């Protein structure tokens, strides 16, 4: 077991820098990942928030989609926030034309479910497995999970909607903990990676 796992942040589009900072403060060696050979060198991966359709198309363009699917299927720990949650869903309820997912979590996700950019908000969210009280969730054009299959575990809800799910080595939140300075969710993910490295 490695005390300092190497965790990549998919750096095709989105809030990469904030995740790199959060992971580093949770005692991981964090690095951006843009190419398949970089993906092969990491113990775990964060798929950041951003624009899920653009990220999906760039993953295809950069030759990353199939390698991502293979690593996730093989059990690499992965954490997706917002757009990353959408990419980790086995099914999107309302996909854009040509939008693909990496998959890995048996859930159906609705894009932009909490509203448009000007309806973004922050809320305290109780997350199972995270100690010391709720985390501050930043919801920006956030998805929610419509339903989960038997293999997926709901770990947080907000306003009657599922906003965080874990399935094995895969974790997804519809909110952005990397934007708050509270790195407990990242520390939880780093511990997930440590458990399998």
Check if the beta carbon of residue 90 is closer than 8 Å to that of residue 106: yes
Question: How far is the CA of 62 from the CAs of 43, 124, 132, 151, in angstroms?
Answer: 20, 37, 40, 31
Distance CA 137, CA 18 (A): 14
Closest listed residue to residue 86, CA positions, set 118, 122, 119, 110: 110
- Is 100 in the active site? no
Q: Given 18, 19, 158, 178, which residue is catalytic?
A: 178
119 is catalytic: no
Residue 153: active-site member:
no
Q: How far apart are CA 164 and CA 180, in angstroms?
A: 17
Which residues make beta-bridge pairs with 139?
A: 121
Instruction: Tell me which of 19, 176, 183, 186 is the catalytic residue.
Output: 176
Q: SS3 for 191?
A: helix
> Looking at 82, 158, 183, 186, which residue is catalytic?
82
| The two structure tokens encoding residue 178 | 């990397």
Q: Which residues are catalytic?
A: 82, 176, 178
């Amino acid at each position: 077991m490695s005390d300092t796992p190497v965790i990549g942040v998919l750096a095709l589009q989105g809030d990469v820098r904030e995740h790199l900072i959060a992971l580093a403060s949770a005692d991981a060696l964090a690095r951006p990942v843009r190419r398949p050979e970089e993906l092969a060198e990491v113990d775990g991966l964060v798929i950041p928030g951003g624009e899920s359709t653009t990220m999906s198309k760039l993953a295809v363009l950069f030759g990353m989609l199939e390698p991502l699917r293979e690593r996730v299927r093989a059990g690499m720990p992965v954490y997706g926030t917002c757009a990353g949650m959408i990419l980790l869903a086995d099914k999107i309820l309302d996909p854009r034309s040509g939008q693909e997912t990496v998959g890995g979590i048996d859930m159906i996700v609705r894009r932009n479910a909490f509203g448009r950019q000007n309806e973004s908000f922050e809320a305290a969210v109780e997350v199972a497995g995270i100690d010391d009280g709720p985390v501050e969730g930043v919801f920006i054009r956030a998805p929610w999970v419509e339903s989960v299959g038997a293999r997926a575990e709901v770990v947080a809800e907000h306003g009657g909607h599922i906003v965080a799910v874990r399935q094995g080595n895969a974790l997804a939140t519809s909110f952005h903990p990397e934007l708050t300075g509270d790195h407990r969710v990242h520390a939880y993910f780093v511990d997930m990676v440590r458990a399998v490295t």
